[in-house]
Structures are given as C-alpha cells and as structure tokens.
A = this chain, B = another copy of it.
Amino acid sequence: MPADRGQAGPPTISEVAAEAGVGRATAARTLGGYGYVSPELRERVLAAAEKLGYRANALARSMSTGVSHTLGVIVADIANPFFAGVVRGISDTSRARGFDTIVLSTYEDLDEEVAATNVLIDKRVDGVIIASAAVDRREVAHIKGATDRGIPVVLVDRAVASLDLDTVVIDNRDAARGAVETLIAAGHRRIGFVWGPPMPESPATRRGLLAEASRNLWTDGERLRGYLDALDDARIPFDPELVMVGRKTEERVTEDVARMLALPDRMTALFCTETDGVTGSLRALRAAGLSYPRDVALIGFDDSAWAAVMEPPLTMIEQPVHQLGAKAAQVLLDTLEGAGPARETHVLRSRLIVRSSVAPPPRS
C-alpha cells in the first residue's frame, strides 16, 4: 500500500530514490529497466517503489529486464596508439569485472560523437567512457542526454569545463613544462613548439594563442600552458614564429618545421605535442640536412617502441595509457555498482623517458 506522501500526484523517480537511499540515477536505471544495478540496490529501489506506489508497468519492466553488462567507449581516433592503449586498459579492467566493452571512434568529428552516443544509448550500454571533442557548453547536449537517462558517463583524456563528471586525465601541463625545462636546462633558448589545434593562422601574440586554445581541446590548451610556463620561469621571451598551429598532419608538420628552420635566428630545439609532430619534424630535419641532437634537440609525445630504436634513440614523454583506461573503467564500474558518481578529476602522472635526442645547442 502506498505510504503517505503528504502531497497528491504520482511519485517521482527522485522520491523513490530518496526512499530507497540511493542516487537518482540508480533508481532511474532500476525503474527504467536499463543499465546495470547491483542486486542489493535493485532490491531496495523496487521495495521503495512498491511502498510509494510507483507506477506498475515500469516496475514490471524493470523486473523482466536483464543486465546488459556492457560498457560503451567513444574515442577520438582508435588509430592513434594512445587511444588504443586506453581502450586496452578499459577492456582489461571491465573484463575482469564481468563487463564487455564496445568501442566507437569519431575521428575528431563532433557529429560522429553525437551519433556514437546515440548508438550506445540505443544499444543499452550500462555506462559510457568518452574522450570527447566537445569544448563549448553548446556541444555537450548528447553527453547530458546519456546522463539524464541514468547512464553514467566518465570523461577520459580530456576534461570538459561545462560538464561536472568523473574525469580521468594526465598532467598535460606538467608534462609539457617538464619537457621544455629539460631543453632549457641543456642550454636551449630558441625552442620550437609543434602544436596542433586547427586555426586559420598562428595568432601573433601570446594572449591570442591562449584565447585560441580555450576554443580547442583541453589537452592542447594544457600543453601550451606548460610550454609557456617553462619559458616564463627561464625568462625566455615568447616568439610566435616558433609555434606551429593548424591541423597536425605529418605533411603539414614537415612544411612548418622547414619554415621554422629557415628563420634567421634559428631554433636549436623542438618540442612536439603529438607523434605525427615527431615524425614530421624528423623529415624536415633530414630534408634540411640537419641531424639531432647535434643541430636540433628533440622531445615529443608519445613514447613508442619505434622511438626507442631510432638512432640515436628519442627522449619522449610516456603517458600512462593503460592506467588511464583502467582508472576510467574502475570509476565507472564503481558508480554502476552503487558507489554513485564522485565527480572527481583524477590526474595520472606521465614520465619523461630520457634517451639521447637532447644535447646542448651547437656553438655558432
């Protein structure tokens, strides 16, 4: 028999949740019959729903529905070894806890990301892990659409300012600062920055660059800030000529690094924020008849088996890719098992793998 609720009208999911002592999302999943809810919490929600007289057909549906035990993962580009490693971390952790993982790749296209999110909702995944291309608050409706349906979402690799969600990232700003500090410590003051946000042309000022960064991915902004931090600490003036912008394809990097190498006051070091930036820079050096570390010192994201067998081997930033995925899965699974979203940002440490691509600048 319905308990006295003081007021008229059918009970809401929030009231059932409060009665059961669980989060709204858990109640929504149980009563809506989608997503994973632990047997114990399911029991409590159903008891509360019965007590409050929550409408019977939803109840019946929830009782007849099985658990999907599937996590959905949306990454920007599965062909990037970084994301491949993250997905492996997610799969290993979720598999160990009895969940399968299905992956969609958006190739950095926000429309694809919206479509991918809808596919995952349609396929009734229990939770979603996403490396979102969204920046602006006008771009996050699809993610809110998932959480509104009681499907928990964890952000990985990229924080999104307008979303208050559990987020697992690395220390991009620290990583970039550390790499540039290593170059400065070796004596470099003209340090090229092979960066990547797509923008029509390089802003001529530091302020312009930061403004542009705020309209692009969080990771890109953080890496720019780390580069600037290191220059500031060493009182090295910022030179916009030493910054490469524009969509980072290897070909574009090769062209733009060639331009930087032709500047009168030539750079003596390069810091690359992506693997394509490293291989493109190496092509440009070779084309200019220069070699590393003698003529130009070099550090880049992300470490790989290849970087270690180059001659000389490259000093690279290694991101904890597997851990990044494992942690995101752990946070999501804890939420699904009743811990409730903590809305924390977890920051994992990257590591500079020092090899032989940094030497002092040539005397000239």
Q: Are B81 and A88 in contact (CB-based, < 8 A)?
A: no
Determine how close the nearest CB of chain B comes to the CB of A304; give it in whole angstroms: 7
Q: Quickly give the copy total for this chain.
A: 2
Determine how close the nearest CB of chain B comes to the CB of A255; give it in whole angstroms: 15
Given the contacts A306-B279, A311-B310, A100 and B87 also touching, CB distance less than 8 Å: no
Q: Are A100 and B78 in contact (CB-based, < 8 A)?
A: no
Q: Are B100 and A103 in contact (CB-based, < 8 A)?
A: no
- Of all chain B residues, which has the CB nearest A125? B123
Interface size of A in residues (CB-CB distance below 8 Å):
39
- Chain B residues with CB below 8 A from A306, complex form: 279, 304, 306-307, 310
Q: Name the residue in A88, A286, A309 with the highest tally of chain B Cβ atoms < 10 Å from its Cβ.
A: A309
Which residues 73-96 in A have Cβ within 8 Å of B in the complex? 78-81, 84-85, 87-88, 91, 95
- Of all chain B residues, which has the CB nearest A250? B305
Determine how close the nearest CB of chain B comes to the CB of A248; give it in whole angstroms: 12
- Chain B residues with CB below 8 A from A275, complex form: 305
- Chain B residues with CB below 8 A from A81, complex form: 79, 81, 84
Report how far A279 CA is from B303 CA in the complex, Å.
14
Q: Are A78 and B88 in contact (CB-based, < 8 A)?
A: yes
Q: Which of B78, B105, B116, B311 contacts A311 (CB 8 A)?
A: B311
A282 within 8 A of B: yes
Main secondary structure of the interface of A (DSSP, over half): helix
Given the contacts A100-B116, A102-B123, A279 and B78 also touching, CB distance less than 8 Å: no
- Of all chain B residues, which has the CB nearest A310? B310
* Binary interface encoding of chain A residues 293-328 relative to chain B, with 1 for a CB under 8 A from any of its CBs, else 0: 000000000001111111100000000000000000
Which residues 269-284 in A have Cβ within 8 Å of B in the complex? 275-276, 279, 282-283
Q: Are A119 and B102 in contact (CB-based, < 8 A)?
A: yes
Q: Are A286 and B309 in contact (CB-based, < 8 A)?
A: yes
- Chain B residues with CB below 8 A from A105, complex form: 87-88, 91, 101, 103
A179 within 8 A of B: no
Q: Are B79 and A279 in contact (CB-based, < 8 A)?
A: no
- Chain B residues with CB below 8 A from A172, complex form: none
Q: Which of B79, B119, B282, B307 contacts A70 (CB 8 A)?
A: B119
9 extra A-B contacts, CB within 8 A, seeds A78-B84, A283-B309: A78-B78, A78-B103, A81-B84, A91-B105, A91-B107, A101-B105, A102-B103, A123-B123, A123-B124
A–B pairs, 11, beta carbons within 8 Å = A79-B85, A79-B88, A80-B84, A81-B81, A81-B84, A88-B105, A102-B102, A102-B103, A279-B308, A304-B306, A306-B307
